[in-house]
Each structure stands twice: as structure tokens, then as C-alpha cells.
Amino acid sequence: MTQCLNWQQLNADEQAAALARPSLPDSAALKTTVAGIIAEVRRDGDAALKRLSAQFDGLADNALLLSKAQRTALIAQLKPERKAAIELAYGNIRRFHAAQQPTDIQVETTPGVFCELRQRPIGSVGLYIPGGSAPLPSTVLMLGVPAQLAGCPRTVLVTPPGRPAAADIAPEIVYAAELCGIQQIFTIGGAQAIAALAYGTESIAKVDKIFGPGNRYVTEAKQQVSQDAAGAMIDMPAGPSEVLVLTDDSANPAFVAADLLSQAEHGPDSQVLLVSTSQSLIERVLQQVEQQLKILPRADIARQALSHSRAIYTPDLATAVAVTNAYAPEHLIVQTQDDEALLPQFNSAASIFVGPWTPESAGDYASGTNHVLPTYGYSRTASSLSLTDFFRRFTVQKLTAAGMRAIGPAIVTLAEAEQLGAHALAVSLRLQQLDLQQPDLQQQGSTQGESLNER
């Protein structure tokens, strides 16, 4: 069912089509529905959340906030093996993100002119964790660990309610949240959860920034609240998940097949590409895919994704790299004889998995890298979620009298060039004052080596 293509036999239009992503549905109906839900939550607060939970989740009385006792009881249900696996993943993710701690920067750009770039955690962040067919504790860690390391003063988690009661959510999610020190967990999902985070309700205080993946209602709601200055910022643009596996003849076909299927099982809209310099390897991989599908629980979903997947033969590795760069995959798996030689040539992948022992699953769960990644070609410009996404950067500057003397005349010249008279006046008034006060102390302050913080 995978479409097999020979890159060199395609014309330019066919090559573009081979790497094209599906158009994302631009549904006016979806936009209207989501805008209606947001308006309802802004108007009625908790009452709207409970009403929508009754309507969409069939829950008569969703208490929204998971109590401390409920959290403790859920964690007590967790199997020890899973607890240990979550702890192992937490440790690796923490070690990798802890190494990303930003440092404040101080520069005396001219004697007496002190400039700083300071980085402080964002005040409040909201983490959306999808529910549905399977719980996603890994996403809790990917969002919760950097929020914890950044020291965001307030971190809340929202996730769709469980069944039969709202509080019956996956123990794995609650335990991962506990490790990350998340203060509040609310059992509410969908566009209504995003609206609550962006605008606040009686129970859920407004947050500054919203992180996390979700279905198309969640994605549309994130988009809408991010367009409103009274709403909230969001982590990154969303799109279907995708992988490109690049191989030569040396790759293990069973490994490659499982890696392709790992992506395909995410959802029917997952994008799966195999690029190889070996026709024989492509054939062996596709045979393995068929065999593995027989034993996979989510084979139906994977088959739908594979129906629009492509295997592309290229005559050499240089062409394979060029195809990869043109596609700009979210996940790039490289399994060739000399991976390291290729690595510096990739310029658009969001996360790269190197060698036979590095499946995408490793990064999805436990290597330590973040699995929240730009997709749909955005990785040409956008970045892997990192610790820095939980910080705000701002500048501080202080001129001493000597600093003003040193750069003031240039500022007046530039302000006059830009015809901004008050900008010039703000400086010339100060220069006049300095001339009056201390005509013989023009060097004052410039040689003291004082920094902004020491003053």
C-alpha cells in the first residue's frame, strides 16, 4: 500500500508531489464551533465547563479539580514496573533539560553603558495532556520537566475526564505530574479546557502560556486564544506527526519497518516516508511491514497512515540527503553505514535519531530529548521544545553619566536623522545637565568597573 517512487524518474512537479503534505482541513464549521465553546467558557466559567463535560463526556457532575486524596489513591494503583519506567524517563529528560539552563548576560558595551539580558520563568503555564484511547504520561514529562526546571511559579495540567467518574484518569499521568511538582490537575479536555486556561474560570486561574498536543478542537482553540492579546501564548504550530527514515543497504529491515510503523500507528493522518539508496532494502522493509502489521494492536490505524506513505529510491546518499532536507521531517531516523558523515548535512529536521539502536521510541519516551517537535515543515524555522520556551527574556540597561557622555552625541545624531525630536531632546537635556554639573569630571563613572548589579 506504500507508494514506491524512483526519485530520478520523477519530474519536478512529481518530486514536489512526492514530498507534499496533505492540506490541513480549513473548516469554517470547526472554527465556529470552537469559537462558540470559547465564548461560552468566558461567559459562564465553571458552569460552562461542567455543562460541556455533561454534553461531551456524559458526566453529570465533573468536579474539575482532582483532590489530593484522589491523586494519592490513583498513584497507589500504579504498577511498580510502570512507576520505575516513568522514573527512568523522568531522570533522563531532567538531565538533558537541566543542561539547557539559561544564563543571564551582562555586557558593558561602552565604558559606562551596562546592558543585560535576563531570563526569568514565565509566571504561569498550562499543560494540555490528551486522554482518549491511551493515556500519555510521556507528554506530562515532556512538558512538566522543563516547567519544573524553569521554576515557573504556577504549573497546572488539564486532561480529559476519566470514566466512569471524572477522577478516573490514568495513574501514570498523575504520577508523572507528581514527579514534576504540578500543583493542580483538572479533569477537563477539549476546546473548553484551552478556553479555561487562556481566560480563567472560578476554579482554573488564567495562565500565560499553554503547551501540549491535542485533537483538532484543541489545536483550533489554541490557535484562536493565541490570536487574542487577552488570551494566552502557545508553544508551537501543530500538524500531523511524521517520520522520514533514511537508509542505505546496510540497515536492518525489521528495525526500519518497526520504526515506520511506530509513526504510522499514531494516527491515520501520520506521515511516513522511507528514503533509501537500495531498492532491495525498500522491498525487504515493506515485506517486514506486512508481517509486523499482523501482530500489532493498532494495525488498522497504521494501515490508514501507510495508505499515503511513500518509499523513495535515490541513486546516492547525496540525493537522499537533499530529499530529506527538502521535506524537513519532524523525526529523521538515519540508519546507514556512516551516519556521522551525513549528520552535518541535515539542515531542517526537528529531531534526528542516529544508528541502528536509536528508534524513534527512544526519543518519544526516555532518551531525554523532548518529543514535542515542530512538524508539517515548520522545523525549517521552528525549534524542538526546550527549556527556553518556559522562560521570558528581557533586557535591562543603565548608563552612568560617563556612559551618557560617551554615546549621547551619537544618539542625538541618529534621532535627528530619523526626525524624532523628543528622542534627541531626552539626550541633549541630559548632556546639558552634565555640562552644567560637572564640566571637569567627564570621566566619572567610566573607570570604576561597576556593574549594574553591584550598584
Binding-site sequence positions for substrate:
241, 263, 266, 331, 364, 418, 423
Radius of gyration, alpha carbons of the chain: 27
Calpha distance 122→154 (Å, rounded): 9
Considering beta carbons, is residue 186 or 365 the nearer one to a second copy?
Answer: 365
Of residues 242 through 271, those in contact with a second copy by CB under 8 A are 252, 254-255, 258-259, 261-262, 264-266
> Shortest distance, CB of residue 345 to a second copy, whole angstroms?
12
Q: Which residue ranges are tagged as binding site for NAD(+)?
A: 128, 192, 215
> Shortest distance, CB of residue 63 to a second copy, whole angstroms?
25
> Shortest distance, CB of residue 298 to a second copy, whole angstroms?
6
Candidate segments 35-43, 68-76, 87-95, 278-286, binder of a second copy by CB under 8 A: 87-95
330 in active site? yes
Binding residues with a second copy: total (CB under 8 A): 131
Q: Which of 183, 413, 438, 447 binds a second copy (CB under 8 A)?
A: 413
Compute CA 393 distance to the chain's CA centroid, rounded to the nearest angstrom.
18
The values of phi and psi at residue 105, to 5°, are -120, 135
> Shortest distance, CB of residue 61 to a second copy, whole angstroms?
29
The values of phi and psi at residue 112, to 5°, are 90, 0
- Catalytically annotated residue among 97, 331, 360, 371: 331
Considering beta carbons, is residue 69 or 81 the nearer one to a second copy?
Answer: 81
Q: Per CB under 8 A, does 455 bind a second copy?
A: yes
Tell me the one-letter amino acid at 231.
G
Considering beta carbons, is residue 53 or 446 the nearer one to a second copy?
Answer: 446
Of residues 286 through 325, those in contact with a second copy by CB under 8 A are 292, 295-298, 302
Considering beta carbons, is residue 63 or 450 the nearer one to a second copy?
Answer: 450
Considering beta carbons, is residue 65 or 237 the nearer one to a second copy?
Answer: 237
Calpha distance 184→162 (Å, rounded): 16
Considering beta carbons, is residue 43 or 380 the nearer one to a second copy?
Answer: 380
User: Which of 29, 33, 391, 392 has the alpha carbon at shortest distance from 195?
Assistant: 33
- What is each CA distance from 352 to 70, 336, 340, 367, in whole angstroms? 39, 13, 11, 12
Q: Which of 17, 54, 73, 343 binds a second copy (CB under 8 A)?
A: 343
> Shortest distance, CB of residue 102 to a second copy, whole angstroms?
9
Candidate segments 59-67, 161-169, 316-324, 371-379, binder of a second copy by CB under 8 A: 371-379
Site string for a second copy, 89-128 (x = CB under 8 A): x-xxx-xx--xx----x-x-xx--x-x-x--x-xx-----
User: Which of 270, 397, 417 has the alpha carbon at shortest distance from 330?
Assistant: 270
Q: Which residue ranges are tagged as binding site?
A: 128, 192, 215, 241, 263, 266, 331, 364, 418, 423
> Shortest distance, CB of residue 219 to a second copy, whole angstroms?
13
> Shortest distance, CB of residue 254 to a second copy, whole angstroms?
5
87 in active site? no
- Catalytically annotated residue among 330, 340, 360, 450: 330
Considering beta carbons, is residue 65 or 268 the nearer one to a second copy?
Answer: 268
Considering beta carbons, is residue 81 or 440 the nearer one to a second copy?
Answer: 81
Candidate segments 189-197, 274-282, 370-378, 436-444, binder of a second copy by CB under 8 A: 370-378
Of residues 185 through 224, those in contact with a second copy by CB under 8 A are 208-209
Of residues 148 through 187, those in contact with a second copy by CB under 8 A are 170, 172
> Shortest distance, CB of residue 411 to a second copy, whole angstroms?
5
Q: Which residue ranges are tagged as binding site for Zn(2+)?
A: 263, 266, 364, 423
Catalytic center residues: 330-331
